[in-house]
Structures are given as C-alpha cells and as structure tokens.
C-alpha cells in the first residue's frame, strides 16, 4: 500500500505567511543657519505604504525606526508657528540696507528670511509686510508663506540669489538601501528675521 506524505505543519504555515521585510532607521538633524538646534519641528516620512511623523527633540534630532529597506522616501519638515518670533524694526533696517546695496546680507539664508511675501525677491513689499506684522495689522504672512522655511542642509545656494528654493519645498527625497540612513538634515530660516534673533523652538 502506497503511503501518503504529509508535510510538516511548520512548512504549511510558512507558505501562508508573508516574508518579513528587513527594516532600517532614518535619522537627521534640524538647525538654524547660525547652528541653533531646533526643537519641536514636525518631520514627516512618506513612501511606498509608509506614512510616519515625529518631532525633533531638544537637540534638534529626529529618528524614524522600523522603515522598510530598499525604497525611495520623502522627508519633509514643518514649523509654521509664531510668525512674529524674532521680527523687529531692526530687521526692516537691515533689509532696507541690503536693498540699497549699503550693507548686503552675509549669507543667502538671510535673503530667504527677508522674502516675507514668498515671491523670490527682496523688495519694498517685504518690508511693508514685516512692518504690518510688527504693528499687528496682519498675523500671518501672505500667500501661504510659512513662519519657518526649510532647505536641505547639503543644498548649496547662490550666495547672492538663493531663489528658487529647491523642490519639493521643505522636503528631501532619499533612496534607502539595506543600511540605516543618517544625515537627512535641514536648515530652518525664520521668515522676517534677518538678524537671527528668533527663538528656535
């Protein structure tokens, strides 16, 4: 009589269970252009089947754990709070001096900060916008300009004209392999604050 072979139960279960996907960590740091750590910045990670968010800690660091390997992801940062933070009449004076070529900004990040209207220019409209914010006439920047704008830390802008900002705005696309991915860093530029007096919270 011919016997019937029955495979072990473990092999049957293995055939029903999906293979586990190897996972890695993605991490980075967020700071201002003058190297102050930024705490509480919202960081979002999106990719194939993945949508995660976290915040930077007191040291400006963030970490995403358990991310599937060998995928392309987009890391975005956002910190649209307290538009008046760091904005004063001194910023208006410095912006006007830059416009008049009397005292040019010494970093392209200050040019980004001075563009309060988000039109990739530094002009009288930016000074008027900052003045209205200081006086309380407006409470947010026009055209959806956020309180803080972020660029990848490894981006090298034109020192005299950093516009347009790298796309996608406030984000960085990364290709993750089979190892932990570190150094997804960003620099935050506080809109309207050209002398770096904003509190980086």
Say what the pLDDT of residue 3 is. 52
Which CATH number is 22-190 given? 2.60.40.10
The structural domains of the chain, with segments of one domain joined by +, span 22-190
For 120-142, the pLDDT digits (tens) are: 999 999 999 999 999 999 999 99
Structure-token match 């620099």, residue found: 187
Q: What's the pTM value of the predicted model, to 2 decimals?
A: 0.88
Confidence of residue 201 (pLDDT cuts 50, 70, 90): confident
Predicted confidence at residue 97, as pLDDT, reads: 98
CB atoms within 10 A of CB 22: 9
* Residue 135 CB partners (closer than 8 Å, separation 6+): none
Separation of alpha carbons 118 and 120, rounded Å: 6
Q: 12 pLDDT exceeds 90?
A: no
* Average pLDDT score over residue span 1-25: 56
What's the pLDDT tens digit per position in 146-198?
A: 999 999 999 999 999 999 999 999 999 999 999 999 999 999 999 999 999 99
What percentage of residues in the chain have a pLDDT greater than 70?
90
Is pLDDT above 80 for 85? Answer: yes
Looking at residue 182, its pLDDT comes to: 98
Picking from 18-22, 60-64, 94-98, 156-160, which range would have the lowest pLDDT averaged per residue?
18-22
Q: Residue 134's Cα: distance from chain center in Å?
A: 26
- Residue ranges of alpha helices (H) inside 76-167 are 89-99, 108-114, 124-135
Query: What is the Cα–Cα distance from 77 to 63, expressed in whole angstroms?
Result: 13
CB 71 within 8 A of CB 176: yes
What CA–CA distance (Å, rounded) separates 24 from 39? 24
């Amino acid at each position: 009589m011919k016997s019937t072979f029955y495979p072990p139960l473990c092999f049957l279960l293995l055939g029903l269970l999906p293979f586990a996907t190897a996972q890695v960590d993605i991490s980075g740091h967020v700071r201002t252009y003058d190297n102050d750590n930024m705490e509480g910045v919202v960081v979002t990670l999106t990719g194939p089947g993945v949508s995660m968010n976290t915040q930077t800690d007191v040291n400006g660091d963030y970490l995403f754990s358990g991310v599937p390997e060998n995928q392309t992801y987009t890391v975005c940062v956002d910190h649209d709070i307290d538009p008046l933070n760091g904005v004063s009449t001194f910023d208006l004076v410095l912006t006007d001096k830059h416009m008049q070529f009397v005292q040019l900004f010494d970093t392209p990040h200050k040019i980004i900060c001075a563009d309060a209207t988000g039109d990739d220019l530094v002009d009288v409209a930016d000074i008027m916008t900052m003045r209205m914010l200081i006086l309380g006439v407006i409470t947010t920047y026009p055209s959806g300009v956020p309180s803080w704008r972020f660029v990848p830390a490894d981006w090298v802008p034109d020192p005299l004209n950093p516009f347009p900002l790298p796309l996608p705005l406030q984000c960085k696309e990364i290709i993750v392999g089979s190892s932990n991915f570190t150094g997804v860093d960003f620099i935050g530029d506080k809109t309207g604050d050209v002398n770096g007096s904003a509190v980086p919270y």
